[in-house]
Amino acid sequence: MIVENTAELPEIIFPSPREILFQRTLRHKGFIIGAAILALILAVALLAPVLAPHDPYHQDLAHQMQNPVWHADGTWRHPLGTDNLGRDYLSRLMFGARISLLIGISAMLISGLIGTTLGVAAGYFGGRTDMIISFLITTRLSMPVVLVALAVVALIGGSLTVIIWVLGFLIWDRFAVVMRSSTQQLRGIEYVSAAKAIGCSTPHILIIEIIPNILNNLIVVATLEVAHAILLEAALSFLGMGVQPPLPSWGLMIAEGKEFMLFTPWVIAIPGVVLSLLVLAINLMGDGIRDITAPEGHS
């Protein structure tokens, strides 16, 4: 039978690639959970001056080490209690989120710029360039990050800017490794050869043909490196050679609470749990993006 009126045929709607991506995102539980936690922490960090019930630097020596609200003697005036100087713990926690995120994102941007430049150059040009850059990556990997960061920050003096730059200059290795191998895979692909054949300039090929196609991998590494930088900052601050008091860094809060932890474990548990949650959320998102953008290749 010949169908005369094609309008009678059931219409098949193909979802656009963007819709498929969106559907996959919604179905990925890890990504959704990570994104929700991160959005919450991000909102608190941005709105800290509005949300915080007290000034995070205000010392109230009459109300030191008050217990959080879930203890019998806790009050809603200080929902998470106060520290050994009588500062409101919740307010310090909220302002601490700003420091973690600021350092994490800034250090990631610096290391991302260094690592991506090196990785793309090594992967695209190959040969001697690749040899030299691979050598740089190996050298960097051989240097113990915590030890070197600690020594340099201690010698220069801990401040937010110093920590950001030191971490930024130390953790570009994963960017370089991943971008190098992603670019290598693209180098021989038809559309890159075609662009070369019609005489496109090297910067044109790199920016128009290569970068957009390694963007997914770049985003995954960038996400994981934010978490890496946040953990390193916390470790430096915990060891007393990162963010300096009275700034409310979570690592520093754990260090300050350490001597009281045997009697009141919550002083380290609260910043520790929040720090772990933040890193967990970022990692979940990074893994999620990898699964969503490359569903066939995950192991």
Interaction site with other proteins (CB under 8 A): 135, 138-139, 141-148, 150-152, 154-156, 227, 231, 234-235, 238-241, 251, 254, 258, 261-262, 265, 268, 272, 275-277, 279-280, 283-284, 287, 299
Q: Closest separation between CB of residue 278 and other proteins, Å?
A: 8
CA dist 87 and 72 (Å) reads: 20
Secondary structure (3-state) at 217:
helix
CA dist 159 and 182 (Å) reads: 35
- Nearest CB to other proteins, comparing residues 17 and 157: 157
- Nearest CB to other proteins, comparing residues 46 and 146: 146
- Contact by Cβ (8 Å): 182, 214: yes
Q: Closest separation between CB of residue 275 and other proteins, Å?
A: 6
CA distances from 102 to 95, 105, 146, 273 (A): 11, 5, 19, 19
- Nearest CB to other proteins, comparing residues 149 and 210: 149
Of the candidates 105, 93, 79, the residue with the CA atom closest to the CA atom of residue 228: 105
Token couple for 204: 């044109």
Q: What values do phi and psi take at 116, rounded to 5?
A: -65, -45
CA pseudo-torsion sign 73, 79, 85, 87: negative
- Nearest CB to other proteins, comparing residues 151 and 189: 151
Angle value at C-alpha 258, between 261 and 284, nearest 5 degrees: 95
- Nearest CB to other proteins, comparing residues 51 and 131: 131
- Nearest CB to other proteins, comparing residues 265 and 295: 265
CA dist 296 and 293 (Å) reads: 9
